[in-house]
């Protein structure tokens, strides 16, 4: 056998520092890719990693700069350090420009994985405080010039060509996210839940999400007012786009408690073992997202044997099979950003489907078993990694 192909993967977040699906994706994909190629991971920040990773720090004189300017500086560092790679693979706008610069500087192919699209997340303008035009430029330039663009769902592939018509559809390849169905598997233990004071004596509705307009949490909180009495809502929401978003969420949770809704908010450290036990004990998992290119957390819940009630947006219908592994709720969005025309109608329709599973444990159990079978059969990181490695080989010059 010859020398393995060297691939440099660029990402902002990487385990153990993960706050969203892109970080989960990068970590899991890397674990499998490193068995197939000579993989080098470049990431933001400082600290220790599970295997050798090159970390790139924001220069000290930019410590208080706009996040988009900090990203530009890190991108320059990454583009310099990937010299010698045969392929460079960037994830999210935070590293897209590094891949583009490396493509030009070192004459190597650039592969982009599109986890989301800036034009479909206009609320990011508030989070980036003036840097949204820069993040959009970094993404647009990368997608426009990439040798290949990986879309995490068929819906994402359509979104790419709609948002960026200059991208040749022939350069777009769909590779679904995966799930580690050995780690995410039914666990009926409660020891990890006990440490967080999460009891299992009541039927639980669970949601795991960032506190972001993208995730549609206000509609779930409104729906919770209509849940069958005796239901416990458990929210694992540890990261907010902005301090104001967190404050608004905290206010809404207090409002539920004042209305005698049993709601528990986990906003601190929460181990994977605790998460698996929580998903395993949930009667139903809810994903109320306004924009979701695929939704890894839905795969994780389904792998734990839990049915999903989710909005029928983005790539979610490619994961949740209506009436078999859960229920899909029409979003009826009136704008490109996914804001629903009738928020109270969306909340009511979420509640109706959740209540149907709360009232029928047998159906919930049947759907949960079908959900696990579905993800084990169709979504795995090893399959995704093989497809990505084949794609690398197809673009090497």
- The pLDDT tens digits for 29-52 are 999 999 999 999 999 987 666 667
Q: What angle do CA 215, 309, 196 make, to 5 degrees?
A: 70
Helix (H) or strand (E) holding 310: strand 308-311
Alpha carbon of 305 to those of 60, 189, 313, 358, 384: distances in Å? 47, 14, 22, 15, 22
Residue 185: which region, alpha, beta or left (left: phi > 0; alpha: psi -120 to 50)?
beta
Q: What does the block give as tokens for 28?
A: 């899991």
Structure confidence at residue 255 (pLDDT): 95
Tally of CA atoms within 13 A in the half-sphere of 171 that contains its CB: 22
Tally of CA atoms within 13 A in the half-sphere of 135 that contains its CB: 25
Alpha-carbon span 137 to 4, nearest angstrom: 34
Structure confidence at residue 142 (pLDDT): 96
Structural domains in the chain, CATH included, are 6-178+380-395 (3.40.50.2000), 191-378 (3.40.50.2000)
Structure confidence at residue 131 (pLDDT): 87
Structure confidence at residue 18 (pLDDT): 81
Alpha-carbon span 185 to 361, nearest angstrom: 19
Instruction: Answer whether 382's CB lies under 8 Å from 178's CB.
Output: yes
Structure confidence at residue 130 (pLDDT): 78
Q: Any idea which residue has 């949930």 for tokens? A: 282
Q: Which of 106, 73, 109 is nearest to 88 (CA)?
A: 109
Q: What is the mean pLDDT of each run of 10 residues along the chain (397 residues)?
A: 87 86 91 95 80 87 91 96 97 96 97 92 72 91 97 95 95 95 95 94 95 93 96 93 91 95 93 96 96 92 98 94 96 64 90 97 97 96 95 92
Alpha-carbon span 174 to 288, nearest angstrom: 24
Q: What does the block give as tokens for 367?
A: 């759907």
Q: CB under 8 Å to 118, separation ≥6 — which residues?
A: 93, 124, 132, 135, 136, 139, 140
Main-chain phi, psi angles of 354, to 5 degrees: -65, -45
Q: CB under 8 Å to 178, separation ≥6 — which residues?
A: 28, 299, 379, 380, 381, 382, 383, 384
Q: What does the block give as tokens for 74?
A: 């890190």
Structure confidence at residue 334 (pLDDT): 53
Q: Any idea which residue has 């990773």 for tokens? A: 53
3-state class (DSSP) for residue 394: helix
What's the whole-model pTM score? 0.88
């Amino acid at each position: 056998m010859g020398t393995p192909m060297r691939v440099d993967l660029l990402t902002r977040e990487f385990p153990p520092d993960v706050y969203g699906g892109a970080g989960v994706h990068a970590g899991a994909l890397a674990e499998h890719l490193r068995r197939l190629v000579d993989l080098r991971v470049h990431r933001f920040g400082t600290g220790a990693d599970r295997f050798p990773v090159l970390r790139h720090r924001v220069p000290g004189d930019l410590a208080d700069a706009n996040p988009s300017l900090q990203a530009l500086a890190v991108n320059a560092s990454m583009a310099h350090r990937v010299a010698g790679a045969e392929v460079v693979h960037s994830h999210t706008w935070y590293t897209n420009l590094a891949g583009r610069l490396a493509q030009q500087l070192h004459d190597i192919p650039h592969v982009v994985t599109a986890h989301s699209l800036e034009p479909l997340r206009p609320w990011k303008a508030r989070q980036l405080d003036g840097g949204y035009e820069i993040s959009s430029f970094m993404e647009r330039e990368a997608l426009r010039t990439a040798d290949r663009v990986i879309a995490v769902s068929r819906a994402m592939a359509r979104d790419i060509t709609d948002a960026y018509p200059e991208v040749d559809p022939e350069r777009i390849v769909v590779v679904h996210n995966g799930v580690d169905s050995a780690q995410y598997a039914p666990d009926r233990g409660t020891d990890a839940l006990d440490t967080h004071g999460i009891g299992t004596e009541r039927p639980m509705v669970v949601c795991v999400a960032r506190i972001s307009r993208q995730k549609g949490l206000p509609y779930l909180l409104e729906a919770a007012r209509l849940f069958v009495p005796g239901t416990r809502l458990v929210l694992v929401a540890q990261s907010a786009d902005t301090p104001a978003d967190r404050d608004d969420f905290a206010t809404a949770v207090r409002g539920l408690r004042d209305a005698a809704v049993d709601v528990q908010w986990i906003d601190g450290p929460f181990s994977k073992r605790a998460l698996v036990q929580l998903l395993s004990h949930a009667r139903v998992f809810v994903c109320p997202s306004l924009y979701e290119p695929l939704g890894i957390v839905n795969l994780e819940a389904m792998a734990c044997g839990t049915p999903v009630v989710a909005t029928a947006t983005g790539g979610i219908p490619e994961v949740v099979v209506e009436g078999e592994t859960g229920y899909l709720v029409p979003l009826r969005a009136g704008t490109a950003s996914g804001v629903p025309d009738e928020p109270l109608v969306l909340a009511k329709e979420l509640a109706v489907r959740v209540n149907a599973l709360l009232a029928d444990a047998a159906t919930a159990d049947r759907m949960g078993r079908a959900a696990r079978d579905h993800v084990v059969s169709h979504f795995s990181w090893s399959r995704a990694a093989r497809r990505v490695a084949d794609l690398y080989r197809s673009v090497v010059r």
